[in-house]
Structure 1
Amino acid sequence: MIDVHSHIIPGIDDGARTMEMALDMARQAVEAGVTHLVCTPHIHWGTFDNTQENIEAGFQELKAAVAEQGIPLSMSWAGEVRVNEMVPVWFKQSKLPYLGTHKGKQVLLLEMPHSNMPAGLDQLFRWLHNEGVQPLIPHPERNRDVWKRPEKIQWLRNQGCLLQVTAGAFIGRFGEHVEELAMNMLQENQIDMVASDMHDTKRRPNDMGVAYKVVCEQASEDVANRLFKTNPAAIVGVDL
């Protein structure tokens, strides 16, 4: 499986705190069936002011440690960028880290606040598309505006966004309501890929393996392979 969303680079956001913890997370990802992991630290203006430079530096240290420990996991890096007024500025300064490409556009993991869907999202999405950037929205099922108005899921798709659901949503890790939303999205064919969004090995672990089985049971193995393997692999540019 290809996991496009994780917080495993140690010490730069609310994910792994130490290299030892990051290595445990890498081992857990492999046990879950992940073969390639994209490291996506938060880029949240004023909270986690990460840059391409410090993300890559942390990634190179992690990659070397994973290799030294003999953990069979290939990795790449990008970032999870919180929606804010600096996104167009960062784009023009070539400071946005991309996951890969989709239909000729660069894919940006673009996070909405958990509390709401900010005004002006449609304008931002349109601007990004016009500049050759494909927004990939992580965990919409955990957004409180979506809880109140589930039709917002289709609105996001109508804006040309790709949607990524968190693996743990399918097993109730975020509560029954989030699980129900994720299942509804699955039945309505509104999911483009599933990723772990792992932050540690216990509270926010890598649930890819168990979620894959759930999606196989609730939809089909073909659907599960598309969401966990072929779709993310095509974006990241890795072989299965």
Structure 2
Amino acid sequence: MIDLHSHFLHGVDDGAQTLDEALALARAAVEDGIRVSVLTPHIHPGRYENHHAGLLPRFEIFRQALAQAGLPLEIRLAGEVRIGIESLELLLAGEVPFLGTVDGYRIMLLEFPHQTLPVGSQQFVDKLLQMKIRPLIAHPERNKAIMMHPERLVPFLESGCWLQLTAGSITGRFGAASSRVANLILRNNWAHVIATDAHNLQHRPPLLQEGFKAAAALVGEGMAWKMVSERPAEILGLNNA
């Protein structure tokens, strides 16, 4: 399996704080059957001042530590980009790492605030698409506005956005409301990928297998496998999943 959304990179956001914590998360991911983890630290100007050039040295440290520990986990670097004009400025400066490229569009993990859909969100998305950047919207099922009105996702889907569900939302780890919306998104065939959004072992572990199984019970094993392996592999440019 391939996990497109994780916060293993240590000391840069609210995920792993130390290299030891990062290695423990990687070990848990391997035990769960994950063979590739994309590290997606928050890129949130004003809160987490991360950018591509600044993240690369720490990514290399972690990559070397994985090799020294003998952990068979391939890692990639991307970012979870908070919607906002400041993030657009980072994009224009070439300081946002992307997940990959599909059909000429760079794929970017885009995060909305947890409580709302900001005014101007559709215009922001349209601007990205004009720039040949396809937003992969992170965990929409955990957004309070979407929990109340899931149909608010439709314009983003019609524009060309993809959706990333959190594995734990499908299984109920984030509560009944997010589970209900995650299941609705799956049944409507709106989800493109499932990922862990892992932050720590205690409350946000890298468990993708259980999300795959729960999704398979709703939409079938073949479709669930596309969301945890085949589509992530296409985004990353991997030949096999």
User: How far apart are 1:60 and its partner, in Å?
Assistant: 0.5
Q: 2: CA distance between counterparts of 1:98 and 1:30?
A: 23
Which residue identity does 2:126 align to in structure 1? Answer: R
C-alpha offsets along residues 9-40 of structure 1, whole Å, 9 cap, x if unaligned? 11110000111111110011111111100000
Q: Match of 1:71?
A: 71
Q: 2: CA distance between counterparts of 1:229 and 1:221?
A: 12
Q: 1: CA distance between counterparts of 2:154 and 2:222?
A: 22
Which residue identity does 1:29 align to in structure 2? Answer: A
Is 1:167–2:167 an aligned residue pair? yes
User: How far apart are 1:54 and its partner, in Å?
Assistant: 2.1
174-183 or 50-59: which moved more? Answer: 50-59
Q: Match of 2:121?
A: 121
Q: 1: CA distance between counterparts of 2:13 and 2:173?
A: 21
| 3-state SS, counterpart of residue 225 of structure 1 | helix
TM-score by length of 2: 0.97
Q: 2: CA distance between counterparts of 1:160 and 1:135?
A: 8
139-148 or 210-219: which moved more? Answer: 210-219
Q: Match of 1:180?
A: 180
132-141 or 152-161: which moved more? Answer: 152-161
User: How far apart are 1:107 and its partner, in Å?
Assistant: 0.7
Written as runs of structure 1 = structure 2, the 5 A alignment for 1:9-48 is: 9-48=9-48
Q: 2: CA distance between counterparts of 1:202 and 1:219?
A: 29
Q: Match of 1:94?
A: 94
| 3-state SS, counterpart of residue 15 of structure 1 | coil
Q: 2: CA distance between counterparts of 1:96 and 1:62?
A: 19
Written as runs of structure 1 = structure 2, the 5 A alignment for 1:140-219 is: 140-219=140-219
Consecutive unaligned residues in structure 2, runs of 5 or more:
none
C-alpha offsets along residues 152-206 of structure 1, whole Å, 9 cap, x if unaligned? 1222211211100001001111101111111111111010000000001120001
Q: Match of 1:137?
A: 137
Equivalent pairs counted in the alignment come to 240
Written as runs of structure 1 = structure 2, the 5 A alignment for 1:42-61 is: 42-61=42-61
Which residue identity does 1:150 align to in structure 2? Answer: P
TM-score by length of 1: 0.97
| 3-state SS, counterpart of residue 217 of structure 2 | helix
Q: 2: CA distance between counterparts of 1:129 and 1:156?
A: 11
Shift >6 Å, 4+ stretches: none
C-alpha offsets along residues 81-106 of structure 1, whole Å, 9 cap, x if unaligned? 10111233222211121010122111
Which residue identity does 2:100 align to in structure 1? Answer: G
Equivalent pair of 2:139/2:163 in contact (CA under 8 Å): yes
Consecutive unaligned residues in structure 1, runs of 5 or more:
none
Which residue identity does 1:119 align to in structure 2? Answer: V
Q: 2: CA distance between counterparts of 1:158 and 1:225?
A: 24
Is 1:232–2:232 an aligned residue pair? yes
